Each structure stands twice: as structure tokens, then as C-alpha cells.
Amino acid sequence: MNRRDIIKLLAILAVLVLAFVLANRIDTAQGTAETEIVRDAVKNAALTCYAVEGAYPSDVEYLREHYRLAYDEERYLVTYDCFASNMIPDIWVTEKGAGMP
């Protein structure tokens, strides 16, 4: 192999690594956006419940049963911490298999 072939090979490898990194970033950004959509859906359902009933529900299951909250339970883990019925709950959504944000 001469010097020119080595330079070509290194350029091809650099392009492949760059393409992999960019594809990974795009996938991560998409996953983050989808997680935010699920979080917003849970929050909106909780706010609707508060507006209708005057209290935040104690768990997500109540929102699923009474306010048609739906999300992919196989893909997302929703943590819903309601301290008091008159205080907005803390809501965390994590994609299963991913670490906490």
C-alpha cells in the first residue's frame, strides 16, 4: 500500500465514523423529543383532572382509567409522585433501557 491509498482509506474511515456519530445523535434527539411528548401528555391529563375534580390524582392509573391517558408502557417508564392533592405532581418519563436524564 502506498501513501495515497492509506490517505484514501483514512478519509473513508473518517466519513464512516462521522456518519455513525451523526446517526446516533439524531436517534438520541428523537428519543428525547418522544419522551417529552409522553411527559407532556401525563402532565396535561393531571392538570385536566385538577381542573375537573379539584385535586390531582394519586397515581397514573387513575389518569389512564378516567382521562384516557395512553402511552407505550413497553417503551416508557413513567414515575408520578403526588405529594398532595393540591400540588402539581413531579413527573419523570424515561425510555426503558435508557438511564435517568
Cβ neighbours of residue 40 closer than 8 Å, sequence gap 6 or more: none
Digitized pLDDT (tens) for each residue of the chain, 101 residues in all: 788 878 877 777 777 777 776 666 665 555 578 889 999 999 999 999 999 999 999 999 999 999 999 999 999 999 999 988 899 999 999 988 765 44
pTM to 2 decimals? 0.68
Q: Where are the domains of the chain?
A: 3-95
User: Are 46 and 57 within 8 A, CB to CB?
Assistant: yes
What's the burial of 42, exposed, middle or buried (CB within 10 Å: 0-12/13-18/19+)? buried
